[in-house]
Structure 1
Amino acid sequence: MRYILFYKPYGVLSQFTSDEGKQTLKDYIPVADVYPVGRLDWDSEGLVLLTDDGRLQHRLSDPQYGHPRTYWVQVERIPDDVAVERLATGVEIQNYQTKPARVKLLSAEPQLPPRDPPIRDRQSIPTAWLELTLTEGKNRQVRRMTAAVGFPTLRLIRVSIGLLSLEGLSLGSWRDLTSDEVKVLKRK
């Protein structure tokens, strides 16, 4: 079995094929027969787990197991306590009530590689960073949640999946999980 962590750049599809001419996982990971666990949208960045272990892939993708995924989210303007609380207790997006999440307004911008292309910079509108931990993964959920409370997402980076994190990975790089990481992942 193979277990891989990848730091996906902006503008890369979370799949190995594309009929749109966009970059895919194949442009970065020369490993056959592994597939992403869940997905990370083309316009999002961050941690992607890939494996050929179908049982683990199913368990990590199935919402009933609710494994945590943490994101750093740059939003337009500075969210107030009411918006943060709404994100934490759940908001309605597309006729769906999101589950409670852990939400924290970060006091400083996280140390990240610059995005290419950079986000739009409007001098008159401040931005802020949130740390958001979800246990579900609806399509474009984080973006829809922040928009629902009035603070659109400008940049989105998944920084961890359970105990696995971006730590030690550079943008566009990948590595195999250690045997200890695989044991912990299978235990959860």
Structure 2
Amino acid sequence: MKLGRHSPAPKRQKCDHWSPCPPGNFAYRILSGGGKERTATICFEDEQLVGEPGSGINIAIVNYKTGEFSSTNFFHMWAHDHSKQMMDFIRSAPKGTLLLMATQDDGSTRLKDYAKELVENLGSKEIKNIKFRSSWVFIAAKGFNLPDNIQREKINHSDQTKNRYKGWPAEIQIEGCIPRNLM
């Protein structure tokens, strides 16, 4: 004899959202790294664009009109300065693209101010505040504007000596749905 009722398991949504995006929207989730075992991940329309260890600043470029993945790269900022290469990668993204960014480990030690200004010009309010091993995520549009109600950025550089990752801040994320008709 069965006691109680069992609810069916919830259906998995794109990019592991709790609820589906409305029709005519793209789903995205950007998750920073946290600790050595928690790598940065970038998901767009249920396709994981970044998920392998890429220490530094991870960037994925997506064509906004089609939702198709264009390219991805990571820019290590601890041992060497890759600010120019990161700027060239961002500048190479054509108008009409989304840039999704997440840090893994250290994205700031060798990041030059001129590279921070480029990201700030894309709409970042926190890029100049990132510190050693800060967790940072950001989504930007190149050549068009994102709706005001979309969370674009998040940063965490909490007391790194008193957290679960022993010197690393916890991972953070932003996720949402972007209407397909902004351009």
Task: Report the TM-score, using the length of structure 1 for normalisation.
Answer: 0.29
Higher relative contact order (CA 8 A, sep 6+): 1
